[in-house]
Structure 1
Amino acid sequence: MKFAVTSRGDDLSNDLQKRIKEQLMKHGLVFNQHEPELVITIGGDGTLLQAFHDYAKRLEETAFVGIHTGHLGFYADWVPSEVDQLIDDIVHKPFQVVEYPLLEVIIHHNQDEGERHLALNESTIKGLGGSIVSNVEIKGDTFEVFRGDGLCISTPSGSTAYNKALGGAILHPSLASIQISEMASINNRVYRTIGSPLVLPKHHVCLLRPLNEVEVQVTIDHYTLEYRHIHSLQCRVADERIRFARYRSFPFWKRVKESFIRE
């Protein structure tokens, strides 16, 4: 099996990266950064997010497993004290593939094909220097006209990130869906929004069409893009999915509990 190991860059993560690489190669696995079948990330959720974007064109061939070396990572199954067990499992056990839905975002500048991006957690659109006014269209029909700081569109696994801070619901990743949450909406006689997060299924497309001339900032996970103007932001559940390598059971709700309410 071909593998790659990525590190957050701190001393502990770098030491584990070197150790895992040496041990797996000693057991006959092939280190290959360009075409890995398994990517081991060492650090936190940000490290795994970066690895996801680095290998976004290999999602059908590549699975991910995470080791957290700081605070508990939501995507990471393992801690440094369990590295020997993980190495043994990788060498001797086939992994179970667990797939999570992704968000597809297409940024249209005019009536063009647009820039296509994939997000594991979320995408946001905000006004720079002022509120953003935007049509929110669902399945081709205008649902509302939003005015406020911006909107967050999240995946089920990303529902525990920025979406949660905005008061959105936590969704199980078995639900192929996206969630739209508001950032400080302005409601008056002219502008009226639903005021609650919206959960859209796989076959529904959401189109955000800015109506004012404010410059916009679009984020794709941890990447930030700024534009003087965009025609629209199209969001839907992506055809692609991220594949995680599971060597042991780690139920989603257990992750949620340990991440947020475990004492």
Structure 2
Amino acid sequence: MCRVVDLQQAVLAKNDAAADALRAALTARGTAVVNLLSSPGSGKTALLERELTLARERGLSVAALTADLATENDATRLARSGVPVRQVLTDGLCHLEAAMLGRYLDGWLPDDARLLFVENVGNLVCPASYDLGETLRVVLASVTEGEDKPLKYPTAFGLAQLVVVTKTDIAQAVDFDEAAFRENVQRVNPGVEMVLTSARADEGVGVLLDRALAVAEGAAPHRPVMARPEHGHGHGHTHAHEHAHPHAHEHAHDHGDHHGRPHDHDMAQTR
């Protein structure tokens, strides 16, 4: 067990170093990264498509990178927004890592991109422990997932700097208890903002974009109590090694080389 834990810490420490370097490089060029985490089927792709479309309509330079185990479906949907989109196929890897993200941004991310939205692999366990060099970490959950979701996944919700509830147009039909969900969010992450959204009903659309822009312009994001101490980072990114899942086994985590490199596909160019 000690060997596994030691290796886990080494893997996360290596990722943290890569995340710090990536964050510094992107901050220097004026790009803020929004890391989106959720379970599969939460509706984050639908909401992100609306946010990207709104950004383009406002004349904002944004881009999106979406990760999936096996399909390019999400990138195809996001490309309808008209902003630059890139798909990463992880070949079974359940999360993105900072070094991997950096490789896919190199030579692709538009020079004037103000915001980069990263749609992480649909999973509330693996991605929670990996800092991607983000400026803002957002966790999404749909009204269909149950009010106890934050308690079941305390690391994911506990490290969130913004919590977004999706599919509120069907909240009544599924007996969603907003007060109970909100209480559970606050139990694991006191003070974090919770936003209610429905991409279908156009409820709350634009709030995610506004919050991301505010942080990009220097507003301090929420700092979760679970976060480890900052080491001079401007936006208070979150480490939680003590809460990290024990999935860092003895196989190499440089998965891009293990499988040849995860496939990627550019779905849209700047318009």
Q: Is the pair's TM-score, using the shorter chain for normalization, greater than 0.5?
A: no
Structure of higher CA gyration radius? 1
Q: Which has the higher contact order (CA 8 A, sep 6+)?
A: 2
TM-score (norm 1): 0.27
TM-score (norm 2): 0.27
